[in-house]
Amino acid sequence: MRIVLLGAPGAGKGTQCKRIVDKYGLLHLSSGDILRQQRVEGSELGKKAKSYMDSGALVPDEVIVEMMADEIKKTPRAGFVLDGFPRTVEQARELDKALAANGQKIDIVLNLKIDDNIVAQRMTGRRSCPECGAVYHTENLKPKVEAICDNDGTELIQRPDDGPEVVANRLQTYHLQTEPVVDYYKNNSTVYDIDANKDADQTTALVFEKLDALVKA
């Protein structure tokens, strides 16, 4: 299965991807997580990405496309779920070209739809594990012990781009540059809209319903 998960910041892409990976055994490729890792390592790529990420803008297409093409090449046969990529029509075209060169294509696109007014609440309460990448929320998805990761006991952190001003910019960037990707896929692939305003478990049930149907087909 080759899956693309689309959606605004805070729609729950990372949260749902972790559950998809647990159930279907796919590789989770998050462009945001890969960029954050590059920043921690202090690589040239990470340094280049910093100013874009901190302001809520997109990292240039050519940088992202090369980075993700390298990651996809490492993919095992079971397939992958893409989180945060592609995020522009140009990235989507380049991804399709790279897959087609290997006789592959995207099987399904899940578009997590969330109202803008819910995004802010989700972002300010988000806490992440710097060790394993698990995502929590101070109100909606609490860890068992406050501020500590259930998986490895690491202290949870708040992402620096989750402040109100940067979130507003990220949302604007999403509407301008990423929403057109949904239309691109509607012309090229199978797209399902998923109501991501619901709680995490209800959203997961909708996601699994679509993926189970694909597995059975």
The question of whether 159 is a catalytic residue gets the answer yes
Site for ligand AP5 in 113-142 (CB under 6 A): 122, 125-126, 135-137, 140-141
Contact window for ligand AP5 (CB under 6 A) among 3-11, 97-105, 183-191, 207-215: 3-11
Asked if residue 28 binds ligand AP5 (CB under 6 A), the reply is no
Token pair for 30: 């998050």
Closest residue to ligand AP5, Cβ-based? 32
Burial annotation 21-50 (CB, 10 A radius, 16+ → b, else e): eeebebebbbbbbbbbebbeeeeebbeebe
* Closest CB 13 distance from ligand AP5, rounded Å: 3
Sequence-distant (≥ 6) Cβ neighbours of residue 48 within 8 angstroms: 59, 63
Asked if residue 29 binds ligand AP5 (CB under 6 A), the reply is no
Strand 135-137, strand 126-128: pairing? antiparallel
* Closest CB 133 distance from ligand AP5, rounded Å: 10
**Which residue of 3, 4, 6, 14 would you call a contact of ligand AP5, by CB under 6 A?**
14
Q: Report the distance separating Cα 57 and Cα 39, nearest Å.
A: 16
Question: What is the x/- site pattern for ligand AP5, positions 47-86, by CB under 6 A?
Answer: -----xx--xxxx----x-------------------xx-
Token pair for 8: 């605004």
3-state SS class at 85: coil
Asked if residue 185 binds ligand AP5 (CB under 6 A), the reply is no
Contact window for ligand AP5 (CB under 6 A) among 12-20, 38-46, 102-110, 147-155: 12-20
Q: Report the distance separating Cα 100 and Cα 68, nearest Å.
A: 15
